[in-house]
Chains A and B, each alone.
Chain A
Amino acid sequence: MGAVAAIMTLTLKEAMRRRAFLGTLIILVVLYGLSFLPKAFHEAFGGSERRFELGIQLMTSFGIDSIKFFASVLAIVLSAGTITGEIERGYLAAILPRPLHRWQVYLGKWLGVMVFCAVNVVLWSAMLWLSVYLQGRSRPEIWHALPYVLLYPVLYGTLALMFSSFAGTSVALMFTVALGAFAYFADHFLRPLVVFIDAAILQRIVWLSEWVLPMATLKRFVMAEVRLPFTGRIEDAPFASEAVRFFLNPPTRAWELGYVALYILVALLIGGIIFQRRDVQ
């Protein structure tokens, strides 16, 4: 386990060196500043207590969305250049002759990226919670959603690391972003379309996209913790059939989390196996 720990520490050091934490700091400050907007508006223009409450609610869910997004970006950026990128730069040729297994290097890198992202996500969440708290509100759902938010960088980082096991930095980055974009597009554009076009094929594509990358699954788990009190969303579609409404707003089911875990594990394994079998030169 010593080798895994050493590689993990090295990865963390490298993440620090790459000034990843500077970006983090900026996000922190922006998040902090933005989340005071409801209070600022309330004080400037007055308005009802309910409107203020709604503002807080909006900021909370916007904050969580940003954390999800930036954590994913951070994980992708840190992972995409890992295996092939480091082979090309020549780092690994000197590390691998040491008495360690390649999977230890792989696991160490993975853990390093994950720990770095997790620390960031916890920091950002704490900042969000604090700023809401300072406005006289408590939003414990930020903490309730945290485990699911943490799965975002795990999912994307694992994927990018897997791609990096055979593809160079920019290609691995592209593959991961393309998959993410496909999943996002399917969930945010194709899914609502079902309200207007009730086609089985459309529904199948959307479900498929979720198997390919269970991002919408994670979104639902986060949303289940932080519900927006809005009405009149297209997803609520009061005029649509029961089946369409179910498709638009599927419930969260425990086995789906199992699928996410399996997905991450399999991606980790595939990447590890490719790395194990390839030449390092």
Chain B
Amino acid sequence: MWAIETRGLKKVYRSLIGGTPVVAVAELNLQVPYGCVFGFLGPNGAGKTTTIQILIGNVYPTAGQAWVLGYKAGALAAKRRLGFLPEKFQFHEFLTAEEFLKLHGRLAGMDGKTLAKRIDEVLELVGLQERRKSRIREFSKGMQQRIGLAQAILHDPDLVILDEPTSALDPLGRRRVREVIEYLKQQGKTVFLNSHLLSEVERSCDMVAILNKGRVVKQGTLEALLVHKSVVVLELRQVVPSVLEALERVATKVQPLDTNRVMAEVADERAIPELARAVVYAGGELMGMQAKRETLEDLFIQLVEGEAK
């Protein structure tokens, strides 16, 4: 059983008056386990928002199926246990923060007492307790996004879907979102989020799927996707051929960067000390060494650019 599952999901946008149809989601197969923080990544226009809109039942797929918490996407039973923060969030700006949360609590079927208590909690969590009586109209963009996050977790949902939750936030706000995600994870909730801030994703997600042109091109745990290789930049007093030769025996790839820097790639992090030893035995003078684990960003760019070629 998955918290989210899609099979052959497809969405084609057609305009009424001619025009070429846009394939937003092509053939999407996705499996999100329960209790996981799942990063949904992809370049602009990859189809992330469209997929999310299908999952919450706002948009109907052209083909394929989607299940959320074991129910068909859009089913009332699924929506009861789901929280959502839209990408283009725009809330009823004439309501105060408190009235807005009350409305959503009521729509989520919460009773008055639980709701009042919960409103305090979520306002505290997103750091807006002092602005609870202000109208949303008077909120800055980032504050609106925060109240949106508060709305998404208000009814203690089992699955929280966040479409770019930090797009309008300052670094402090982003850290707070990370903390909220961490808190949700500790409570065993599933978080499905979409973000372009890959360093953020790397810090908070357990699993990711990378989407391109409406298809998943890579899916898995962060460890599984990123362990493969490590890149090390060695700093020498001078790069000489003997050192390069020695390095080549250890590394899978060696590339001089300039007169005193060499980049070496090893298949396994455990081989990094070998590189230092090789330099020293070959008579090189090692001044510094910096290991660069492959980041999510490297993987992302490689996958997306690779597709483009």
Residue in A2, A14, A89, A98 whose CB lies within 8 Å of B104: A98
Contact of A99 among B50, B59, B60, B79 (CB under 8 A): B79
Whether A93 pairs with B76 at a CB distance below 8 angstroms is no
A253 partner residues in chain B, CB cutoff 8 A: none
Q: Is B86 on the interface with A (CB-CB < 8 A)?
A: yes
Given contacts A14-B92, A89-B90, contact A99 B58 (CB under 8 A): no
What bracket does the count of chain B residues touching chain A fall in?
Answer: 20 to 34
Shortest CB–CB separation between residue A110 and chain B, in angstroms?
Answer: 17
Q: A281 near B: Cβ within 8 Å?
A: yes
Q: How far is the CB of A81 from chain B (nearest CB, A)?
A: 13
Interface size classification for chain A = 20 to 34
What is the bound-complex CA distance between A279 and B86, given in angstroms? 15
Residue of B nearest to A278 (CB): B60
Contact of B58 among A3, A10, A279 (CB under 8 A): A279
A112 to B68, CA, bound (A): 32
* B173 interface residue per 8 A CB criterion: no
Q: B33 near A: Cβ within 8 Å? A: no
Q: Which residues 159-213 of B sit at the A interface, judged by CB distance below 8 A?
A: none
Query: A97, B59: Cβ atoms under 8 Å?
Result: no
The answer to whether A3 and B90 touch (CB under 8 A), given A99-B79, A279-B60, is: no
A13–B58 CA distance with the chains assembled, in angstroms: 25
CB within 8 Å of A: which B121-168 residues:
148, 151
B58, B80, B95, B151: which contacts A281 (Cβ < 8 A)?
B58
Residue of B nearest to A166 (CB): B16
Across the interface, name the chain A residue whose C-beta is closest to B137: A17
Q: Kindly list chain A residues whose C-beta atoms are within 8 Å of the C-beta of B92.
A: 10, 14, 91
Bound CA–CA A239/B106 (angstroms): 66
From 72 to 89 in chain B, residues with beta carbon under 8 angstroms from any chain A beta carbon are 76, 79-80, 82, 84, 86, 88-89
Residues A97 and B56 in contact in the complex (CB < 8 Å), given A10-B92, A13-B94, A90-B88: yes
Complex formed: what's the CA distance from A90 to B88 in Å? 7
Within 8 A of B (CB), among A105-163: none
Q: Is the CB of B89 within 8 A of A97?
A: no
Residues from chain B with a CB closer than 8 A to the CB of A13 are 94-95
B299 CB within 8 Å of chain A: no
Given contacts A279-B58, A280-B58, contact A97 B103 (CB under 8 A): no
Interface residues of B in 44-73 (CB under 8 A from A): 50, 53, 56-60
Q: Which of A1-37 contact B (CB under 8 A)?
A: 2-3, 6, 10, 13-14, 17
Contact with B along A263-281 (1 / 0, CB 8 A): 0000000000000010111
B109 touches A2 (CB 8 A): yes
Confirm or deny: B91 has a beta carbon within 8 angstroms of a beta carbon on chain A. Answer: yes
Chain B residues positioned under 8 Å from A3 (CB to CB): 107
Interface residue? A96 (CB, 8 A) = yes
Nearest CB in chain A: distance from B15 CB, A: 12
Closest residue of chain A to B151 (Cβ to Cβ) is: A94
Answer yes or no: B303 CB below 8 A from chain A CBs: no
CB of B86 within 8 A of CB of A94, answer yes
Nearest CB on B from A3, distance (A): 6
The answer to whether B107 and A99 have CB atoms under 8 Å apart is yes
B108 at the interface (CB under 8 A from A): yes
Closest residue of A by beta carbon distance from B82 = A97
A95 to B56, CA, bound (A): 11
Residue A51, interface by CB 8 Å: no
Pick from A10, A101, A277: contact of B103, CB under 8 Å: A10
Q: In the bound complex, do residue A99 and residue B109 qualify as a contact, i.e. CB atoms below 8 Å apart?
A: yes
- Is there contact, CB below 8 Å, between A93 and B86? yes
In the complex, what residues of A have CB within 8 A of residue B109's CB? 2, 99
Least CB distance, B74 to chain A, in whole angstroms: 9
The 10 closest A-B pairs by CB, nearest first: A90-B90, A98-B107, A17-B94, A99-B80, A97-B84, A280-B58, A97-B56, A279-B59, A99-B79, A93-B86
- 5 interchain pairs, CB-CB under 8 A: A6-B107, A90-B88, A94-B148, A280-B58, A281-B53
Which residues on B are within 8 Å of A, measured CB to CB?
Answer: 50, 53, 56-60, 76, 79-80, 82, 84, 86, 88-92, 94-95, 103-104, 106-109, 148, 151
Known: A13-B94, A97-B84. 20 other contacts (CB 8 A): A6-B103, A10-B92, A13-B95, A90-B86, A90-B89, A91-B91, A93-B53, A94-B84, A94-B86, A94-B89, A94-B91, A96-B56, A97-B79, A98-B104, A98-B107, A99-B76, A99-B107, A279-B53, A280-B59, A281-B59
